[in-house]
Amino acid sequence: MTALDLSSPVAVVGTGTMGQGIAQVALVAGHPVRLYDAAPGRAREAAAAIGARLDRLVEKERLTAAGRDAARARLLPVEELTGLAGCVLVVEAVLERLDVKQELLRALEDVVPDDCLLATNTSSLSVTAIGGALRLPGRFVGLHFFNPAPLLPLVEVVSGSATDVTSATRAYETARAWGKTPVACADTPGFIVNRVARPFYAEAFAVYESQGADPATIDAVLRESGGFRMGAFELTDLIGQDVNESVTHSVWRSFFQDARFTPSLAQRRLVESGRLGRKTGRGWYDHADGAERPEPHTADPAVPPAYVIAEGGLGPASELLALIREAGVEVRERDEDGGGTRLVLPGGGKLVLADGRTTAEFRDVVHFDLALDYRRATRIALSHARHTSPAAVAEATGLFQALGKKVSVIGDVPGMIVARTVARIIDLAVEAVAKGVATEDDVDTAMRLGVNYPLGPFEWSRRLGRGWAGELLDELHGIDPSGRCAPSLALHQYACAADKREDTP
């Protein structure tokens, strides 16, 4: 099954930001494009706005003047739905309400031919439910573009329960022909990206609500240690707190209030107060002109230890040993009968990679957070209990500062910031694949392109070890048995498969 012929007209219904973006993508790819909006005059306004964006593409030398003129000639705003007759694909990008979308699509079925693909750009509604109102639901598919559609490459091609394979394949190939990177996805709450990405926000908010750290520090650790392009607080301010919370609530409700998707009370209060982020001038941060951005907590300079004793290989943090030696700090290696992996400081304190346990359980233990790349990381978070000796904290701080890292000391947060976030993302990704939502490769592609993660969840898991996430989440769930951090059965099976166990019970 091949992509739609470029000479065939496609249509976009709904001319808001997303609708205009999708129309521009199809137009630049070479299709004749028809625009329709129920509000009189909106389609003409949208066509003018698209034309202005094409002008800017010419100014930036991303489109020739001849290409712009040809594209403008192919763009046709229509005032009646009947103007979409003869289209081979209609993508709706109207209000996110099931009844509105169903009514529109039923009306479209009376206008377009039976072989016309019908698609929805919904990000939160069930493709199956929308298509359930159609006479021919087999030709209905989800085409979830990301905003801004002309710039972001990812398109989730979502098959509802009644979607024909031929329809999904044609939609997939058409998205690819338009220069996008499509991923195939079954109809599930949040599809791939909005399902797997929930912990990125949820864990940051949970650390904040537990008084573990302030938003600026959490964001800095996610960026400078975790390798994420933006922190959770600054990203939701950009998206809009109301929009982000709405998606979270939609996924939570759709999964029958599964505790793993529980919304944040702190974010709810922010929305209730009208502090929605950049669009209102205030969210987690003050976005008013001239407002100063709060600085993350950074520890004062401390004296590094003369040596450390390495017990075990430090697991995912093993590259730290080479960095410590390069910094001129002696590394003494000692076998650990109990299989522990930690650094022992001269004063007797112990440095342990975040593993889901609290430092309050131990004497003079300082946890350090996971980093995407310890050599390139510019900031490391440390966590300790109230009873941890100041000398142990100072030595741990000085050690990482000797490696050229800024140090943020946070509260006694089990799993810290990056580690718990990555573990939960891996868990939801593994479960999604186990339930047939998408392939491992498509999940990784979706998370890298849709939300700019530095690694896909499966890439991260292979780097950390297939059992790493489950072990950390087991510890978190043991401390907090509410279920929000409970590892899935799929994650347990995924870890066991790596062991290739052959023993019979």
Residues assigned a catalytic role: 123, 144, 156, 194
**Residue ranges in 348-403 assigned as alpha helix (H):** 390-402
Task: Tell me whether strands 379-383 and 365-368 are parallel, antiparallel or unpaired.
Answer: antiparallel
Say if CB 35 and CB 78 are below 8 A apart. Answer: yes
SS3 334: strand
Q: In this structure, are strands 10-13 and 342-344 parallel, antiparallel, or unpaired? A: unpaired
Q: What is the DSSP string of 434-473?
A: HTTS--HHHHHHHHHHHS--SS-HHHHHHHH-TTHHHHHH
Query: Whole-angstrom Cα distance, residue 94 to residue 78?
Result: 16
3-state secondary structure of 34: strand
CA–CA gap between residue 185 and residue 128 (Å, rounded): 13
**How far from the centroid of its chain's Cα atoms is residue 495's Cα?**
23
Alpha-carbon span 145 to 192, nearest angstrom: 12
The helix-helix angle for 232-239 and 241-254 (nearest 10°) equals 100
How many residues are listed for the chain in this entry?
A: 505
Tokens 């989800």 — which residue? 142
The sign of the CA dihedral 327, 328, 330, 331 is positive
Q: Which residue, among 131, 126, 120, has the nearest Cα to 92 in the 3D structure?
A: 120
Amino acid at 155: V
